[in-house]
Amino acid sequence: MIKIFVCDDQETHLAAITKIIKDKTMFEEIAMQIEVATTNPQEIIGNLDAATTSIYFLDIDLANEQYDGLQLALKIRESDPHGFIIFITSHSEFGMLTFEYKLGAFDYIVKPTDPELLKNKIDSAIDTICERYRIDQANNHEEEIEFTSDRDRKYIRLKDLVDIEVVGNHKLKVVSKHQIFECNGSLEKFEGHFPDYFIRCRRDALVNLKEVVECSSKEGIIKLSNGFTIECSKWQIKKFAPILAKFKSSED
């Protein structure tokens, strides 16, 4: 199931966008439904559900005392770091702001004067998201995690993640089976959405127990499947070792 949220402060625009989405999703193989279509950002915030794949169509220039579209997107990211945010606006000059706010927006649609062009753009965005959703489902229902940096965004399958370490203020180093890169964020942002086999071996490092080969208190390291190591204190290893042993025994 994919839930869809729409927020636009103009009733006519809201109705038009909602109709386009309803017409598009009516015949999709993937179950999709409009969860909330509203002029009030608080209704979106009150219905967030990070456990479900969600798409958010947001007017970037909301005339609301508390939230404009960017502030609403930031609030959404606090609860749903992996949802698909699509901005729809009449103001093309606002596009760069979505990058400055580091929102990891999936798309930015400038409202054309031709309604058919708007329909084509929304349909195309939904098609792309549906294809990504199908791929995720085909990969043993493995979730794909979005990581954003100042320059780009990457999508890594959960099963390919090896470890994540803090390298600076709201900066993380992500190590997967196929690449290493830095991204924005905090461990807390991801930790709550990961399975319980992702454990902190240090305060500033989150490791996938499936990718741990062994841990050595003598050497003060945790050895990973990719040949890398994570340095830890003897106290940290002592605390981590029984967790690893219990996990490995449950996997046998």
Cα–Cα distance between 56 and 51 in angstroms, integer?
A: 15
**Are 186 and 172 in contact, with CB atoms under 8 Å apart?**
yes
Q: Can you identify the CATH homologous superfamily of domain 2-138?
A: Response regulator (3.40.50.2300)
Quickly count: other Cβ atoms within 10 Å of residue 145's Cβ: 20
pLDDT digits (tens, 9 = 90+) for 147-186: 888 877 788 888 889 999 999 999 999 999 888 999 999 9
Measured N-to-C along each axis, helices 11-25 and 115-138 cross at an angle, to the nearest 10 degrees, of 50
Laid out side by side, the sheet with 84-89 consists of 32-38, 2-7, 53-59, 84-89, 107-110
pLDDT score recorded for residue 217: 86
**Among the four given CATH numbers 3.10.20.90, 2.40.50.1020, 3.90.105.10, 3.40.50.2300, the one describing domain 158-251:** 2.40.50.1020
Which residues of the chain are in CATH 2.40.50.1020 domains? Answer: 158-251
Consecutive 10-residue averages of pLDDT for the chain (252 residues): 91 94 86 92 88 87 81 88 86 56 73 87 92 73 77 83 94 91 90 85 94 91 92 92 90 71
pLDDT score recorded for residue 102: 55
pLDDT score recorded for residue 98: 54
pLDDT score recorded for residue 97: 55
Cα–Cα distance between 14 and 7 in angstroms, integer?
A: 7
Which residues of the chain are in CATH 3.40.50.2300 domains? Answer: 2-138
Cα–Cα distance between 197 and 208 in angstroms, integer?
A: 6
How much is the CA Rg of the chain, to the nearest whole Å?
A: 21
